[in-house]
Amino acid sequence: KDWVASVDFHPRGTHLATASGDKTVKVWDFLQSKCVATYKDHAQGVWKAVFHDTGDFLASSSLDHTARVWDVNSGRCRSTLRGHVDSVNSLAWLPFTNCLATCSGDKTVSLWDPRSQYCSHTFYGHENACNGLAFAPGGEILVSSDADGKVCVWDVRQVSCLTSFDCGPHLANGLSVDRSSTYCAVASDDGTIKMYNLVDEREGLKF
């Protein structure tokens, strides 16, 4: 047993995915408290595991510098995404597409087509390790955070930075974009939650 870094519900049914420091991704039937699948191909601890919207695929990111995409039905690794030169700290599916975003300790954010294992775009703008990612529900905006507390807002189509916010000097631990794509909430290492208005590009509440 080792640390468990993330959990994610299957979009249908009673399954839950976990990512762990023991190098595995596990799928659980949470009603029966039983592990129903274990994926073992990562060489180091796994930071994140996220189901695709269809529930047929599961993506994971690891300290071994790779992200992997697993076929939930067969249990096989379908894609290994290589290109980052440091830990892949987080990842997110572009809603209802086959596109996957990753962020890394190498300070970059990348977009991938897991079917071809091809990195289509890389975003540069962070000056420290990237540790958080979230797509706006429409998929046109991607938000990333780093260890300096910087939050970048990216235009996915134009592959450009629309704006950035400074939550520093504390680490930004996680972020989420609301359903209207108006607000971004950032969880900070200083014990606060910071809200940003993505439309007006201004800081809002802090609590």
The per-residue pLDDT for range 169-206, each reduced to its tens digit, is 888 888 999 999 999 999 988 899 999 998 887 776 67
Residue 7 lies inside a defined structural domain of this protein: no
The one-letter amino acid code at 152 reads C
Residue at 18 is within a domain: no
How many structural domains comprise the chain? 1
Confidence check: pLDDT of 96 > 70: yes
CA 75, distance to chain mean position in Å, is 21
- Cα–Cα distance, 111 to 102 (Å, whole number): 7
Residue 75 is classified by DSSP as: -
Whichever domain contains 130, its CATH number is 2.130.10.10
pLDDT, tens digit, 9 for 90 and up, residues 106-135: 999 999 999 999 999 999 999 999 999 999
Whole-model pTM?
0.94
Residue 11 maps to a domain: no
184 in any annotated domain: yes
Max mean pLDDT range (61-65, 146-150, 164-168): 61-65
Look at residue 131 and tell me if it is in a domain.
yes
Residue 53 lies in a domain: no
Whether the predicted pLDDT of 168 surpasses 80 = no
Is residue 207's pLDDT more than 80? no
Average per-residue pLDDT for the chain: 94
Assess if residue 62 is contained within a domain: no
What is the residue range of 152's domain? 83-206
| Confidence label for 92 from pLDDT (cuts 50, 70 and 90) | very high
H/E/C letters for each residue in the chain? CCCEEEEEECCCCCEEEEEECCCCEEEEECCCCEEEEEECCCCCCEEEEEECCCCCEEEEEECCCEEEEEECCCCCEEEEEECCCCCEEEEEECCCCCCEEEEECCCEEEEEECCCCEEEEEEECCCCCEEEEEECCCCCEEEEEECCCEEEEEECCCCEEEEEEECCCCCEEEEEECCCCCEEEEEECCCCEEEEECCCCEEEEEC
In a domain, 162, yes or no: yes
